[in-house]
Amino acid sequence: MYEHVLIPTDGSETSEHAVDEALEVASRFDATVSALYVVDTDSVGISLGAEQVDRIRQGRFGEMDDLEARASDATAYVAERARERGVDVEEHARAGRPASVIADFADDADVDLIVMGSHGRSGLSRVVLGSVTEHVLRETHKSVLVVDTGHAGEDAEDRGGDGE
């Protein structure tokens, strides 16, 4: 049913739970995984030249600053966990507006399932969904599995001790 699963990742700890769940699905369906990190050029203060955008696509982060280097770390985490489970994985990086890039990538690469976290790096569990996930849901016609990552990490205490 699912042959190609897309895991968009922002490299946040909150998202690691989503990665595990995505790989569990991929493994059961014997699907190939594409891990995708998008360097968010929408963020204030980031503007990349054509040469940098190219370099990102080619995965050449070595020469770049911390922000872009996060890309290789993010997808490397997914790749490592995938290999542990014997799941075929490819790492991809792009630059642009994350939600649009994710939706376009899903079309271009013939993805049949997108698995992503409800929250990511900003991790504001007060909002129902992170903005990237919300926009992907609006912009793609692919199936999307949204893993609840909103209560991970520092927000755990706010739940008032429900036994976890």
Question: Least distance (Å) from ligand ATP to the CB of residue 103?
Answer: 11
Residues 6+ apart with CB under 8 A from 11: 37, 70, 71, 73, 74, 77, 121
Q: Which residue number, 17 or 121, has a Cβ lying nearer to Mn ion?
A: 121
Burial 89-126 (b: 16+ CB within 10 A, else e): bebbbbbbbbbbbbbebbeeeebebbbbbbbbbebebe
Of 30-38, 64-72, 122-130, 137-145, the window that binds Mn ion (rule: CB under 5 A) is 122-130
Question: Least distance (Å) from ligand ATP to the CB of residue 14?
Answer: 7
Of 16-24, 73-81, 118-126, 133-141, the window that binds Mn ion (rule: CB under 5 A) is 118-126
Residues 6+ apart with CB under 8 A from 77: 9, 11, 16, 19
Residues 55-84 close enough to bind ligand ATP by CB under 6 A: none
Sign of CA dihedral 33, 40, 58, 84: negative
- 130 touches ligand ATP by CB under 6 A: yes
Which residue in 16, 92, 98, 111 binds ligand ATP (CB under 6 A)?
98
Of 6-14, 25-33, 53-61, 153-161, the window that binds ligand ATP (rule: CB under 6 A) is 6-14
- 5 touches ligand ATP by CB under 6 A: no
- 41 touches ligand ATP by CB under 6 A: no
Distance (Å, rounded) from C-alpha 157 to C-alpha 91?
34
- 43 touches ligand ATP by CB under 6 A: no
Q: Which does 18 bind (CB under 5 to 8 A by kind): Mn ion, ligand ATP, none?
A: ligand ATP
Helix or strand holding residue 39 (H, E): strand 32-40
Binding site for ligand ATP (CB under 6 A): 8-10, 15, 18, 36-38, 40, 98, 116-117, 119-124, 130-133, 149
